[in-house]
Structures are given as C-alpha cells and as structure tokens.
C-alpha cells in the first residue's frame, strides 16, 4: 500500500513538474512572525540539542522569534518533492535534483533577497547557482554543500592517491596486492557521472564537457568503464553506515564516499583519509526553499536569515560533515567549525566539484541521454 502511495505521489510529482510554473508573488515585506514554522529536511539537518546537547540551532531561534519549529524529515529527494506537493510545509532543504523540479512544478516561490540582510554573507559562487536560480530569479537560500570524496585507507596508501584510477582500473596498490575486491562504488545511477568525469580527464577525444550531459558515444564509454569496474567491486555502497562497516571489517581500502563517513571513521580511530583527486569530484548542494503556499512566510524568512547568521552553518557543517554556504562560518567562531574542518570537508575544492543534477535529454549540446536510461543501464552494470 505504501508502495502504491509512493507511486501515486511520484506520479503527481511528475505531473506537477510538467505543468507550467505558477507565477507566485514574491514577498515584499515581512509581517509579524506567525508563531510557527514547518520544515521538510534531511535527517540531521535541523537539530535542537535532543540528539546531542552541543548541537542546537533551533532553540535560540524559537526564543527570539517566537516561531515554533516543526521538522518533517525525508530520506530521499523524491520524498521531499512529494511532501512539498502535498503542501502544508513552509520550507524544504532541497538538493540539486529536487530543486529544479520544485521550481518547474510551481511549488516554491521566488525569494526576495532584500528581506534577508545576511544574503551578502553567502559564498559568491553559490549566490546564482543554477540549481536555485532560474532566469535571474532566486528560489532559495543556499544551505549546505559537500563533495563526494575519494576515501582511502592510510595504511595501504602512504601518500594520498591523486586519481580515481584506483577505483576504476585493475592495478596493484602500494601494499603490493591487487585492488580487486577492495574498492567500492556508489550504487546510485548518478555514479555514471563520476565515470564520465574520469573520462573527461583521461579520454579528451570523447569531448565530454559536463558529466551530467552525455551524448550516446560519451555515455557508452562511461558504461564501458563501469562494466570494467564491476569486476573490481564486491559490493556497491548505498548506506553510509554499511560503507563504514565495509572499511572496518570487509577489507575495503578505497571508494567514493561522503566526508560524513570519513569523519565518523576518523573519530573511531580508523586509518582513513580523503582526497579530491585531480579529475575533480561530484558533489551535492542543498537549498532552503519556500513553499508557494507557505502559511508562515515571515517565520520562514526569519529562518532563512537565521540560517545565515547564527551558529547553524558552523555547527551543522561539523555535525553533518558538510561545507557551510557562508564561508565566514568556518572562521568566525560562531560555532565549532574551524578553517581546517572546512578544508577537510571540501571547502578548497569547490572549483573541482561537479554538483549533482538530474540529467535530461534537453542539454546544451542536444540529444543527451536522460536519467531514466541511466537507471536501467546502471542496473545492468551492477548485475554484471
């Protein structure tokens, strides 16, 4: 039954994405706080000190504004889109694959950045990012971002590997043993982009410009590379905790991973390090977006402001292993984050990161392979 509900919801989401964007009016000025605010967020994004008293960026907001914050967590982007389609929420922390669908579906309204004094603190490189800005109109406030780093075992690699080569091609690792069965790859179809990114650097004759926009030939080459990788991979990783366990107990020594796993493993004393190799890395960037029928717009604007000028950016980036959208948060001591911490989570590698987005057939070059084909073909690759 739940499956069917999900199906229906996705169906509605898809239908909504097709309809023309509704012309939602931008808020001109803030009113009186409405006393409540409901947010759809990734698990761990909105902490009020209940999990760990040291991580709290809600209580103070509630005290100063009187807006009682309610959180609905969602595990996948699709869930977020369907929750927003159902309505009844004010804000959502949408990732790059959901944000444009929400804009196209008219489910989020333009954000008046004049009402957010601290907008100026946002990383300049994120201010006009294409996953929340359409035709010069801002549909949200950048929240957090992070890279998919190459995590490696420091006992096997005395020096950090400088290329994704170690996970794509069979070779002898520095400890004298083969990498077969000791590397992992992500089990989402979007991982095809990682292969394309590798080919972009190593096979320039393919002419790959953007790993999320692949024509038939480039796409076929990426699949070929992944089929070779299948022989090296014993298990694809899907769940961060499973991957952590695989690094500890399964003898895995190199894989794409999130800084989250790296931080947890390091905290546990495991010999791991992470690097953004020379080819670059894929990554994710989340945006705080406002529902077009938000019942508490003033509280929502206050929260957007709060997200930029409080301990939120700093502490959340420590908590989640992410990079703040406000660069100052790394150094201004507003929370626990430090310059080294931000660098470890990927701050310096911004220019090397290809942020996640949904591949569609409409791309600049024209005739690109759409995402649903990525899905069926990646299933075939994993099926080996």
User: Using CB under 8 A, which residues numbered 353 to 372 contact another protein?
Assistant: 358, 360-361, 370-372
Kindly state the DSSP code that residue 284 receives in the 8-state scheme: E
Give the residue, chosen from 65, 77, 255, 287, that forms a contact with another protein under the rule CB under 8 A.
77
Q: What span, in angstroms and rounded, lies between the C-alpha atoms of 209 and 311?
A: 38
Q: What span, in angstroms and rounded, lies between the C-alpha atoms of 151 and 158?
A: 13
Give the residue, chosen from 170, 251, 339, 348, that forms a contact with another protein under the rule CB under 8 A.
251
Nearer to another protein, 320 or 374 (CB): 374
Give the residue, chosen from 64, 76, 159, 178, that forms a contact with another protein under the rule CB under 8 A.
76
Q: What span, in angstroms and rounded, lies between the C-alpha atoms of 75 and 175?
A: 38
Nearer to another protein, 223 or 281 (CB): 223
Kindly state the DSSP code that residue 67 receives in the 8-state scheme: P
**Burial grade of 55 (CB within 10 A; 0-12, 13-18, 19 or more):** buried
Judged by CB under 8 A, the stretch of 26-34, 50-58, 238-246, 271-279 that binds another protein is 238-246
The pattern of x and - marking residues 162 through 181 that bind another protein according to CB under 8 A reads -------------------x
User: In a 3-state reduction of DSSP, which class is residue 94?
Assistant: strand
Q: Is 224 in the site for another protein (CB under 8 A)?
A: no
Give the residue, chosen from 105, 146, 147, 189, that forms a contact with another protein under the rule CB under 8 A.
189
Judged by CB under 8 A, the stretch of 52-60, 111-119, 163-171, 228-236 that binds another protein is 228-236
User: Using CB under 8 A, which residues numbered 27 to 46 contact another protein?
Assistant: none
Nearer to another protein, 57 or 191 (CB): 191
Would you say 184 and 233 are in contact if contact means Cβ atoms under 8 Å apart?
yes
Q: What span, in angstroms and rounded, lies between the C-alpha atoms of 131 and 139?
A: 9
The pattern of x and - marking residues 90 through 119 that bind another protein according to CB under 8 A reads -------x----------------------
Inter-CA distances, 46 with 67, 72, 93, 285, 357, Å: 14, 10, 10, 16, 24
Q: What span, in angstroms and rounded, lies between the C-alpha atoms of 109 and 149?
A: 33
Q: Is 238 in the site for another protein (CB under 8 A)?
A: yes
CB of 283 to another protein, least distance (A): 17
Beta strands 149-153; 254-257: pairing state: antiparallel
- What does the CA dihedral 112, 138, 86, 372 come to, rounded to 10 degrees? 180
Give the residue, chosen from 56, 118, 187, 293, that forms a contact with another protein under the rule CB under 8 A.
187
Residue 126: CB atoms within 10 Å: 21
User: Using CB under 8 A, which residues numbered 140 to 159 contact another protein?
Assistant: none
Q: Is 271 in the site for another protein (CB under 8 A)?
A: no
Residue 2: CB atoms within 10 Å: 6
Which residues in this chain contact another protein in the complex, by CB under 8 A?
Answer: 1, 3-4, 6-8, 10-11, 14, 18, 76-78, 97, 181, 187, 189, 233-236, 238-239, 241-242, 245-246, 248-251, 358, 360-361, 370-377, 379-380, 382-384
């Amino acid at each position: 039954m739940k499956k069917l509900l999900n199906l229906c919801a996705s169906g509605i989401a898809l239908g909504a994405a097709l309809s023309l964007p509704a012309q939602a009016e931008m808020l001109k000025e803030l009113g009186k706080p409405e006393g409540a605010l409901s947010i759809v967020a990734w698990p761990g994004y909105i902490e009020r000190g209940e999990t760990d008293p040291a991580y709290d960026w809600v209580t103070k907001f509630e005290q100063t504004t009187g807006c009682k914050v309610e959180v609905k967590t969602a595990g996948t982007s699709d869930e977020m889109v369907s929750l927003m389609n159902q309505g009844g929420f004010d804000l959502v922390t949408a990732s790059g694959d959901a944000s444009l669908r929400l804009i196209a579906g008219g489910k989020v309204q333009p954000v008046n950045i004049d009402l957010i004094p601290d907008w100026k603190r946002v990383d300049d490189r994120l201010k006009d990012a294409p996953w929340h800005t359409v035709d010069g109109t801002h549909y949200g406030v950048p929240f957090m971002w992070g890279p998919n780093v190459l995590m490696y075992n420091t006992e096997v690699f005395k020096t950090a590997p400088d290329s994704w080569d170690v996970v794509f091609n069979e070779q002898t690792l520095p400890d004298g043993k083969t990498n077969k069965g000791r590397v992992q790859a992500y089990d989402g179809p979007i991982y095809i982009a990682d292969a394309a990114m590798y080919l972009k650097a190593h096979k320039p004759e393919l002419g790959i410009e953007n790993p999320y926009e692949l024509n038939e030939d480039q796409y076929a080459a990426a699949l070929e590379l992944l089929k070779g990788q299948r022989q090296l991979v014993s298990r694809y990783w899907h769940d961060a905790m499973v991957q952590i366990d695989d690094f500890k107990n399964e003898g895995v020594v190199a894989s794409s991973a999130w800084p989250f796993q790296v931080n947890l493993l390091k905290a546990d004393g495991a010999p791991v390090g992470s690097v953004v190799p020379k080819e670059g890395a894929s990554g994710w960037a989340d945006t705080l977006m406002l529902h077009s029928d938000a019942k508490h717009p003033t509280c929502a604007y206050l929260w957007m402001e709060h997200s930029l000028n409080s301990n939120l950016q700093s502490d959340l980036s420590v908590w989640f292993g992410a990079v703040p959208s406000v660069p100052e948060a790394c150094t201004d001591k507003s929370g626990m984050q430090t310059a080294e911490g931000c660098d470890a989570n990927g701050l310096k590698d911004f220019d090397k990161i290809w942020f996640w987005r949904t591949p569609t057939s409409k791309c600049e070059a024209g005739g690109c392979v759409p995402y649903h084909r990525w899905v069926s073909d990646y299933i075939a690759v994993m099926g080996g």
